[in-house]
A and B are shown apart, each in its own frame.
Chain A
Amino acid sequence: MTNPVIENVRRSLGRTAQISSPQGTPLSLRPAIHEPRLPESLDSEIERFLGEVKKLSGVGQKLSPSEIDFALKTLVEEQNIHKATVWETPHLRQLGITEILNSLGVELVSPNANKHEMALCDLGITEADYLLPETGTLAMHSSAEKPRAVSLLPRVHLAIVRPEMLRADMHQIFAEAKDGNYLVFITGPSRTADIELTVTLGVHGPKNLYVWMMEG
């Protein structure tokens, strides 16, 4: 089956016959950068990642599971959290996130609730699927257990992540993730400089981004 646009393209390129594989100038070396970034030691990768999150006006810190209670309590108080929604993943369940929030008096909304209800949440808690140290990026897929709206609608986003999610470069992430249906890179909180170049956080997405790197 053919269409007028592709026909026009073919005519302009001077094709005499339909071809199905590329010709002419060859595609560059694969990988396209023949020296992709190599990982440093795990500690320095973690430091670099958290450092970049901070540069982006996010809050990045290392945490052990025993410190979760206190950290969540502080966050809920600081950000005045009343309603929250949390990804339903084994790791977050194991950390007892929803129980802690309950005990702090925070109302929980199902991550699969309708969008109007989700939009009322103050806090969204996710994990990530991959992390990029060089840019302080969280990369995440989307599914019924890990809805994309949790990292988008609430005004505060907390990502609880682990060192094994770190990848040295985008190449590795893409190799693993390209067959998925949806992937998003989150690099810092929502921002704009559209009015007189004044940097403003939280214009449509979350205003505050917290990243906790779990250790041990």
Chain B
Amino acid sequence: MSETPTYIGFEEYSEHVPASIPSAVQQATSRFVSGRAARVAELPQWEELRQIGSDIRQHTIENMDVYLTRLEEKVKSAGGHVHWAETAEDANRIVLQIAKEHNVKMAVKSKSMATEEIGLNHFLEAAGIEAIETDLGEYIIQLAGTGPSHIIVPAVHLKKEEIAALFSEKLEINAPTDPIELARIAREILREKFLNAEMGISGGNFLVAETGTLVMVTNEGNGRMCTTMPNLHVAVVGIDKVIPDWESLTVFLKLLARSATGQKLSTYTQFITGPRRTEGEFGPKEFHLVLLDNGRSKILKDPVGRDVLKCIRCGACANVCPVYKNVGGFAYGSFISGPIGAILSPQMLGTQTARELPYASTLCGACADVCPVKIPIPTILLHLRRRVAQGDEFAPPTASVPIRLTASLASFSLAQNWLYRFGTRLLPLLMSIFKRGDWIPSAPYPLSRWTKARPLPSFTAGFRQWWKMRSAKRKEASQ
């Protein structure tokens, strides 16, 4: 999952979806959909919240340089370190460098899309540093060596029997098939890791520029463990996660859990501003924030496509998507799946690498209806289809010379009454040559391009004439 793909074969994959995927994925999505609906119904100001959320994201995108500058200043004044990573390789190298400086042998990780995006685990492991996923679902798929099938429940495609077999094999134990027992086993094993790891690695849900605060939302408590137990905390976060202030944060916290899991708030929300301030207190002595660009600044250039950067990673769009529900997460070939993946991957990896993704949609619009920050996903899908077809430069579309000639000829003749009338007389005459019964089965080029696929209905009369005939027929019928 971690290496940058060179081509995403969505179509080929979706023809061979394993039978277990749709049913498992649909079980998860239907639960999240009904949970979300219940929470939304409780909140009369939901639509207003979405609009405000969207507006704040719009404002932030338009002023990303200002807020990033402010964020850096505030994190530093809170005693944290800030690193800027232009590419995935830069980010990996920065994290490794920090790990080496602190003689780290083992790192515990909380779930993070950014570190999946850059393939950090593989990079650290190649350098001899063990990086352990600690979110239960992520831990399972790390053991299995596969990618996530759903953004919130990454291992939903695996049955408990398969997980038990996996635990038995990889952990050399005799694992039962009870989900609660399996979770208990993972708790014990990972508890050891939390207490002994020298470094905690996390992502982040939001970065509050006002005070330089990292906001992390989790349910299991592994996020708290990773940022409390080791003396060193490194957060890798995309630059698009910056928000202006705490007042904005209230809006996103109200939108996020309701949209994602149908909770009012996730179990643990942490607000971390720099390292711990007093000696003898729990919490890391050192805090590093790695701000990841990796193509995001390039996305900003496209005034239509950049709305994707509003995303707060709730996964609601995937839960309602008829395409996603039938193919699951793997088909999208990247760290992010569903409708949001279909508009993000082409912009990050290139419209040629991910050229099939903008077409992985029926354009039904359900995603846009549930998006908590109102990203116009279908509009962006169409925009990206154009970029796939015409290249990434956004010149206004131009028609070919024959089309333009035909169009100007048509606009001239349609404007001249006599010419139009003449045309309506001429056309049936011309057509009679090719007519077979009521249809024209084949016509000369360029009309042959049409008749190759289906016959043309023959033209019987001009509109005025046809109208007269029609009225006469009706009169006859009524008499």
Contact = CB atoms under 8 A, between A and B. Distances in A.
Contacts of B278: 143-144
A38 interface: no
Contact of A25 (B55, B66, B293): B55
Interface in A178-193: 178-193
A189 B267 contact: yes
Interface stretch (A65-73, A91-99, A100-108, A145-153): A145-153
B222 interface: yes
Nearest to B160: A196
Interface stretch (B56-64, B443-451, B462-470): B56-64
Given A33-B45, A184-B224, A203-B183, A192 B269 contact: no
Contacts of A152: 221, 224-225, 228
B165 to A, nearest CB: 13
A22 interface: yes
Contacts of B85: 5
A171 B247 contact: yes
A135 B39 CA distance: 11
Contacts of A137: 265
A132 to B, nearest CB: 8
Interface stretch (A10-18, A39-47, A75-83, A158-166): A10-18
A90 interface: no
B228 A197 contact: no
Given A25-B58, A193-B153, A35 B45 contact: yes
B65 interface: yes
B414 to A, nearest CB: 42
Contact of A203 (B84, B136, B213): B136
Given A22-B59, A25-B58, A4 B187 contact: no
Contacts of B27: 197
Contact of B183 (A3, A19, A178, A200): A200
Give the residue among A19, A20, A179, A196 with the most B Cβ atoms within 10 A: A196
Contacts of B137: 192, 194-195
Given A5-B291, A203-B186, A204-B187, A178 B267 contact: no
A26 B56 CA distance: 8
Contacts of A11: 297
B274 interface: yes
Nearest to A14: B301
A194 B247 contact: no
Contacts of A64: none
Interface in B65-124: 65-69, 78, 84-86
Given A32-B247, A33-B49, A174-B247, A185 B265 contact: yes
A180 B276 CA distance: 10
B281 A144 contact: yes
Given A4-B86, A27-B56, A9 B297 contact: yes
Interface in B26-47: 27-28, 31, 45
B266 interface: yes
A169 B221 contact: no
Interface in B288-342: 291, 293, 297-301
A194 B135 contact: yes
A199 to B, nearest CB: 9
A196 B423 CA distance: 68
A130 to B, nearest CB: 12
Contact of B250 (A19, A169, A182): A169
A36 B251 CA distance: 10
A216 interface: no
Contacts of B273: 180-182
A19 B65 contact: yes
Contacts of A20: 66, 69
Contacts of A179: 211
Nearest to A204: B221
Give the residue among A6, A119, A134, A181 with the most B Cβ atoms within 10 A: A181
Given A33-B52, A144-B281, A148-B228, A181 B179 contact: no
Contact of A27 (B84, B248, B264, B271): B248
Interface residues of B, number: 93
Give the residue among B66, B163, B249, B270 with the most A Cβ atoms within 10 A: B66
Interface string B187-215: 10011001100000000000010110100
A162 to B, nearest CB: 21
A190 B221 contact: yes
Nearest to B67: A22
B221 A182 contact: no
Contacts of A144: 278, 280-281
A187 B265 contact: yes
B439 interface: no
A8 B250 CA distance: 30
A71 B422 CA distance: 99
A204 B190 contact: yes
B195 A119 contact: yes
B63 A134 contact: no
A4 B84 contact: yes
A177 to B, nearest CB: 8
A194 B139 CA distance: 10
B408 interface: no
B293 A8 contact: yes
Given A25-B59, A144-B280, A181-B274, A9 B239 contact: yes
A5 to B, nearest CB: 4
B59 to A, nearest CB: 5
A58 to B, nearest CB: 11
A181 B277 contact: yes
A25 B51 CA distance: 13
Give the residue among A169, A170, A195, A205 with the most B Cβ atoms within 10 A: A195
Interface of A: 3-6, 8-13, 15, 18-33, 35-36, 52, 112, 115-116, 119, 132, 134-135, 137, 142-144, 147-149, 152, 169-171, 174-175, 177-198, 200, 202-206
Given A8-B298, A112-B281, 19 more contacts: A6-B69, A8-B86, A12-B298, A13-B64, A23-B62, A24-B62, A135-B264, A144-B281, A181-B272, A182-B276, A183-B270, A185-B265, A190-B267, A191-B220, A194-B136, A195-B136, A196-B159, A197-B31, A206-B221
5 contacts: A22-B66, A33-B48, A182-B270, A198-B179, A203-B136
